[in-house]
Amino acid sequence: MNFEVWPEAMELGRMFADEGYELALVGGPVRDLLLHRASHDLDFTTDARPEQFEPILKRWGHDGFWDMGRKFGTLGAMRRREDGTEVQVEVTTYRSDTYDPDSRKPEVSYGDTLEGDLSRRDFTVNAMALRVPDLEFVDPFGGANDLSRGVLRTPVDPRQSFDDDPLRMMRAVRFVAQLGFSIEPETAEAICDMGERLSIVSAERVRDELVKMLLSDRPREGVEAFVESGLADVVFPEIPALQLEIDEHHRHKDVFDHTMMVIDRAVALETGTDGAVPAPDLTLRLAALMHDIGKPRTRRFEPGGKVSFHHHDAVGAKMTRKRLRALRFDHHVVDDVSTLVDLHLRFHGYVDEPWTDAAVRRYVKDAGPLYERLNRLTRADATTQNRRKALMFKEAMDEMEERVRTLKEQEDFNRIRPDLNGDEIMAELGLAPGPEVGKAYRHMLDYRLDHGPADHEEALAELHRWWSEQQAA
């Protein structure tokens, strides 16, 4: 088997060999070599102990060195190429881990052989190695064959593997999304039976796997595997709950299938690194996944056989906020995704009756920096098979976006403020700082959005009119 290996890997292999140590490229980089995929970070394993190979790694990585993983036998280094790109490497001593059944943190003990180290890897496609510098390919568990078949299988009994480290089950569904692979039946059965073991894994670790899955080329396939495996029932139960039982007359479409379509459509509407919504975009993809999670809780069977989901947007926004917080997402992501879920139905009224300029301003103002994402989520959510309705919706959205562009040429929506500021309001009404000033400010902002810019006298008249109503009430 011929390999074109990074020159930096070959050089590091020779440096280890000169000191009498073994070195092998391992895991993802070897898999990616066989798949002809780019891999920027290189992982190695060695028979040398950290204190033995640290001087070698420091000589090689003259642009950076780190040792945060020292207690696990891992050291890292970085080198810049002449073209400015960076090569990062991590080297780990052969491992032979043992696990506490109540924790996924291994008790590290060093191993003696490369084959033994490979046996503790998550899947056979990641349990291949390439010795450097002599380029001997090592594949004791048939990883190359599984790679060619597109199959995920554990090197050892899957129940032992997942019992040792339950997070490997999440990695399985992540690799379905990233690589387009299927999970081997015995491995899939073990995941279905052992999903509850995920409860010992930290929320942050689960979140990181979800993020990688959603940012992959095939997020829909990953979510479907996540649900089919039963893992979603343990860590994200709102998603499998979308599989609502369809009534015999099919008065509403399957919410889970609809959500999968929305994810596909949202991904297709991302506009790349130079566009308004960079690709891949975690906020948009999370919003597509969660936009309808309020439907199971709000479903009602109405007189006449209709099915309704009143206020599922507001209910779903609260559920979204709670779940994303539980998964330890950054608060900006929590706020943005929750807002998109809350606003995802806002545009629908425009199709039946185009808005006034004031309503358009308010839509843009409420969406704020999420305006472009909200429009893409709204377009993705329009999955009707009725061609006439689909065309009407598209034309309405196109028209609204054009109106926004025209209005933005007249004024900067992001800088819209009331015609009177807080100091002017307090001076005019004789108020001290407090809640009443805030109410007056919000009213004047609403007036500005509804009527456009007003001159000073008109703004004062409106303030006093509103204040008189407040006093009378």
Query: Considering its fold, how many domains does the chain have in total?
Result: 4
Domain finish residue from 414, 438, 458:
414
Mean pLDDT of 3-10: 86
Find out whether the peptide bond into 133 is cis, omega within 30 degrees of 0.
yes
User: Sorting pLDDT into bands at 50, 70 and 90, what band is 30?
Assistant: very high
Which has the higher per-residue pLDDT, 473 or 163?
163
Q: What is the DSSP string of 372-427?
A: HHHHHHHHHH---S-HHHHHHHHHHHHHHHHHHHHHHHHS-GGG---SS-HHHHHH
Find out whether the peptide bond into 101 is cis, omega within 30 degrees of 0.
no
pLDDT at 417: 81
Mean pLDDT of 413-440: 87
Mean pLDDT of 160-175: 96
Domain with residue 173: its CATH number is 1.10.110.30
Residues 28, 54 share a domain? yes
Strands (E), 248-364: 300-301, 307-308
Residue 247 clears pLDDT 70, i.e. is over it: no
| pTM of the model as a whole | 0.85
DSSP at 38: -
Residues 138, 50 share a domain? yes
Residues 426, 312 share a domain? no
The overall average pLDDT reported for the chain is 91
Residues 154, 138 share a domain? no
Distance between CA 404 and CA 410 in Å, rounded?
A: 10
Domain with residue 331: its CATH number is 1.10.3210
Tokens of 387: 């061609």
Residues 410, 439 share a domain? no
Give 318-341 pLDDT, tens digit per residue: 999 999 999 999 999 999 999 999
* Paired residues of 43 in beta bridges: 90
Residues 131, 20 share a domain? yes
**Coil vs helix vs strand at 189:** helix
Residue 240 clears pLDDT 70, i.e. is over it: yes
Range of the domain at 459: 422-472
Residues 358, 393 share a domain? yes
Residues 430, 407 share a domain? no
- Sign of the C-alpha dihedral computed for residues 332, 335, 338 and 343 taken in this order: negative
Could you tell me the CA-to-CA distances from 183 to 129, 223, 228, 369 in Å, in that order? 22, 14, 11, 40
CB-CB contact of 167 with 201 (8 Å): yes
pLDDT at 251: 45
Mean pLDDT of 230-238: 96
Residues 352, 270 share a domain? yes
Mean pLDDT of 248-259: 69
Domain finish residue from 143, 161, 179:
143
Distance between CA 348 and CA 354 in Å, rounded?
A: 10
pLDDT at 267: 97
Domain finish residue from 194, 211, 236:
236
Residues 171, 111 share a domain? no
pLDDT at 113: 93
Location of structure tokens 């779940």: 323
Residues 252, 311 share a domain? yes
Residues 221, 313 share a domain? no
Degrees, nearest 5: CA angle 94-72-46: 25
User: Sorting pLDDT into bands at 50, 70 and 90, what band is 253?
Assistant: low
Give 142-161 pLDDT, tens digit per residue: 999 999 999 999 999 999 99
Residue 102 clears pLDDT 60, i.e. is over it: no
Tokens of 232: 């979603």
User: Sorting pLDDT into bands at 50, 70 and 90, what band is 248?
Assistant: very low
Degrees, nearest 5: CA angle 203-207-212: 155
